[in-house]
């Protein structure tokens, strides 16, 4: 994917391997797409000819960036397994995944070929809006729809936490582990881990989580359907991990449709999932806003360490220092707010019993 | 040594030249995004270069005092050991490469001290003092260093 001049012929040959029902395949246009932070993205126009009939379509390629230039490391095999399962299941609206070069032998890097969505992202749409209309409710329902998928419906290759406690403990431990492995000592992360450990929320059943839910990862087709893309962080976890990550990401790169009306957003989400208010409320979402961020900040931290050691480079990686420091500021404030709420609740409870 | 223009002034001048001379000649979407990212990083470097030595030194001294107070109040072995290591390891040099090592060692003492306070409900006031260092010495300064940071090109 990184040798742009070679890609039209490479892609045509790769597609031909999967389409022996087509006489000839030609890639007439191929261009890199901006906007993919973690993966290299490209769009290609493909012409199929058989028996004198010509059809054209656009496909999207999603592959690994060049070695040492990645802001985030994730596993394409894992993403392909998830996309395949979701495509077959049909329960979540996604652009169908077509083919996978799992070795990089054909496309120059491990890459997934999928349908192109003729439309824009939710991000580009709401950035231009003064009134978000139904989008907050629709987005809450979309996240809820993902969270109705139970572990038994998912590929065996996906890691299954032993229990809810095991999953939460794993994420808390990740804050400490990433800090311990980093070239930088980070007291903020150690404080976060200690606070999260002392203030666990009530549990929810483990479900499919997207892992990186954000408005740029929601495409809107010409029929106004939402389609969820970028499943590289998909995992089995607490559903609120996704709500928390959506909240912090959208605070960094708004608009944040949760923040517009948190109670309305959560009510729509609870209706879609059947979860209760004791488990899904602003305080528990605050907790998961902090907790779940380690999944992506941890890998960013790892790549920044490689940058320090001369094993990674590039403006994308350098820019991600801002993501980590943005988290520090917001997490300390979030913990301050949650702690104050807990203190007030404890004081009220003590007042009621005395 | 010619110290003026300062490093920050030089970096900002490069930003200006990239924006006004190079930028208009860049037409590919991916290269435009890279250029915008570089602009942000240069501004962050300009902010950092003016203050990072002073900030690290100030924080090292403040953590030293704080960790000593926590060690005295809690008898926490990890805090004491980390503080001893940070003090013994101090290079007392203003070379950035030396100072980041001093800062790193003292940061470990801060981590241990806050953890010790988290584990002891009687140390709430000391814990809040530690969190205040995270807030005012780290988070607020990092916010200044982030400067015009944004997630360029998303969406």
Q: In this predicted model, what pLDDT tens digit does every residue of A153-164 receive, in sequence order? A: 998 889 999 999
Mutate one of B35, B41, B111 to test the A interface: name it (highest A CB count within 10 A).
Answer: B111
Band (A354; pLDDT cuts 50, 70, 90)? confident
The set of residues, in sequence order, having a beta carbon less than 8 Å from that of B61 and lying 6+ positions away, is none
Burial call A55-89: b when 16+ CB within 10 Å, e when fewer: eeeebbbbbbbeeebbbbebebebbbbbbebbbee
Q: Do B140 and A186 touch (CB under 8 A)?
A: no
Q: What phi and psi values does residue A335 have, to the nearest 5 degrees?
A: -65, -40
**CB-CB: which of A121, A185, A195 is closest to B108?**
A185
Q: Of how many residues is chain B composed?
A: 155
Q: Looking at residues B26-37, what average pLDDT do you find? A: 93
Q: What is the mean pLDDT of residues A294-298?
A: 94
- The answer to whether A186 contacts B32, with C-beta atoms less than 8 Å apart, is no
Q: Which of A183, A191, A253 sits opposite B114 (nearest CB)?
A: A191
| Chain B CB contacts of A329 below 8 Å | 139-140, 142-143
Over residues A50-73, the pLDDT tens digits come to 999 999 999 999 998 877 776 677
What is the CB neighbour count within 10 angstroms for residue B139?
Answer: 21
**pLDDT of A183 strictly over 80:** yes
Q: Are strands A40-50 and A97-101 parallel, antiparallel or unpaired?
A: unpaired
Instruction: Work out the minimum CA distance from A196 to partner chain B, whole angstroms.
Output: 11
- Poorest-pLDDT segment among A35-44, A127-136, B74-83, B112-121: A35-44
Task: Spell out the CATH class of A4-115.
Answer: alpha beta
A219: nearest Cα among B33, B29, B155, B154 = B155
Domain ranges for chain B: 7-146
Between A35 and A131, the more confident residue is A131
Interval A108-125 mean pLDDT: 92
Pairing of strands A207-209, A235-237: antiparallel
**pLDDT over 80 at B128, yes or no:** yes
Percent of chain A with pLDDT over 70: 98
Mean pLDDT of chain A: 94
Q: Kindly report, residue by residue over B104-124, the tens digit of the pLDDT.
A: 999 999 999 999 999 999 999
Which residues of chain A does B134 touch, with a Cβ-Cβ cutoff of 8 Å? 187-188, 191, 328, 332
Between chain A and chain B, the number of residue pairs with CB atoms below 8 A apart is 108
Greatest CA separation found in chain B? 63
pLDDT at A74: 82
Q: Do A187 and B107 touch (CB under 8 A)?
A: yes
Q: Which of A93, A216, A226, A227 is nearest to A148 (CA)?
A: A93
A318 contacts B134? CB cut-off 8 A: no
Q: What residue segments make up the domains of chain A, in order of their start?
A: 4-115, 120-353
pTM over 0.90: yes
Contact B35, B22 (CB under 8 A): yes
Assigned token pair, A323: 């993501």
Percent of chain A with pLDDT over 90: 84
Give the nearest partner residue to B118 out of A198, A321, A336, using CB atoms.
Answer: A198
Q: Is A273 exposed, middle or buried (0-12, 13-18, 19+ CB in 10 A)?
A: buried
> Can you give the pLDDT at residue A237?
98
> For position A70, what pLDDT does the model report?
67
Name the CATH topology of A120-353: Aminoglycoside 3'-phosphotransferase; Chain: A, domain 2 (3.90.1200)
Please give the Cα distance from A186 to A199 (Å, whole number).
21
Q: What is the pLDDT of residues A250-269, one digit of tens each?
A: 999 989 999 999 999 999 99
Q: Residue A45 pLDDT > 80, yes or no?
A: yes
Which of A76, A61, A153 has its CA nearest to residue A110?
A76
- Is B32 in contact with A35 (Cβ distance < 8 A)? no
CB < 8 Å to B131, chain A: 191, 332, 336
ipTM: 0.96
pLDDT in tens, A238-250: 999 999 999 999 9
What is the dihedral sign for C-alpha B4, B7, B9, B15? positive
């Amino acid at each position: 994917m990184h040798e742009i001049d070679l890609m039209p012929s490479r892609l045509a040959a790769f597609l031909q391997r999967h389409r022996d029902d087509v006489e000839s395949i030609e890639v007439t246009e191929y261009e890199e797409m901006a906007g993919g932070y973690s993966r290299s993205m490209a769009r290609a126009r493909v012409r199929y000819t058989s028996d004198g009939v010509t059809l054209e379509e656009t496909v999207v390629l999603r592959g690994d960036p060049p070695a040492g230039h990645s802001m985030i490391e994730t596993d394409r095999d894992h993403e392909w397994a998830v996309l395949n399962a979701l495509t077959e299941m049909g329960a979540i609206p996604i652009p169908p995944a077509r083919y996978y070069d799992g070795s990089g032998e054909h496309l120059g890097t491990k890459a997934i070929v999928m349908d192109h969505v003729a439309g824009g992202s939710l991000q580009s749409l709401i950035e231009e809006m003064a009134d978000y209309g139904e989008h907050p409710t629709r987005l809450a329902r979309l996240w809820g729809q993902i969270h109705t998928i139970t572990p038994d419906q998912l590929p065996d290759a996906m890691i299954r936490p032993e229990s809810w406690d095991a999953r939460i403990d794993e994420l808390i431990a990740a804050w400490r582990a990433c800090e311990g492995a980093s070239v930088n000592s980070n007291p903020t992360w150690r404080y976060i881990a200690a606070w999260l450990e002392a203030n666990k929320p009530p549990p929810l059943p483990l479900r499919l989580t997207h892992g990186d839910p954000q408005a740029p990862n929601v495409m809107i087709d010409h029929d106004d359907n939402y389609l969820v893309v970028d499943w590289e962080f998909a995992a089995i976890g607490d559903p609120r991990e996704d709500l928390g990550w959506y909240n912090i990401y959208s605070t960094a790169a708004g608009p944040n449709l949760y923040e517009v009306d948190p109670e309305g957003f959560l009510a729509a989400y609870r209706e879609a999932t059947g979860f209760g208010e004791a488990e899904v409320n602003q305080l528990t979402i605050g907790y998961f806003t902090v907790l779940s961020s380690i999944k992506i900040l941890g890998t960013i931290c790892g790549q920044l360490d490689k940058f320090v050691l001369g094993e990674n480079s590039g403006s994308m990686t350098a820019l991600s220092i801002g993501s980590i420091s943005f988290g520090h500021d917001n997490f300390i404030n979030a913990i301050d707010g949650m702690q104050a709420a807990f203190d007030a609740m404890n004081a009220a409870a003590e007042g009621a019993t005395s | 040594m010619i110290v003026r223009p300062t490093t920050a002034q030089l970096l900002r001048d490069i930003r200006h030249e990239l924006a006004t001379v190079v930028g208009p000649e860049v037409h590919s979407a991916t290269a435009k995004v890279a250029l915008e990212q570089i602009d942000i990083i240069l501004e962050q470097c300009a902010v950092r270069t003016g203050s990072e030595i002073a900030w690290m030194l100030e924080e090292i001294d403040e953590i030293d005092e704080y960790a000593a107070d926590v060690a005295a109040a809690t008898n926490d072995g990890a805090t004491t050991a980390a503080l001893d290591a940070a003090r013994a390891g101090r290079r007392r040099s203003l070379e950035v490469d030396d100072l980041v090592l001093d800062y790193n060692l003292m940061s470990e003492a801060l981590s241990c001290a806050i953890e010790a306070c988290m584990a002891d409900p009687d140390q709430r006031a000391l814990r809040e003092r530690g969190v205040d260092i995270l807030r005012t010495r780290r988070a607020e300064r990092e916010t200044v260093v982030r400067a015009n940071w944004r997630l360029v090109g998303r969406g």
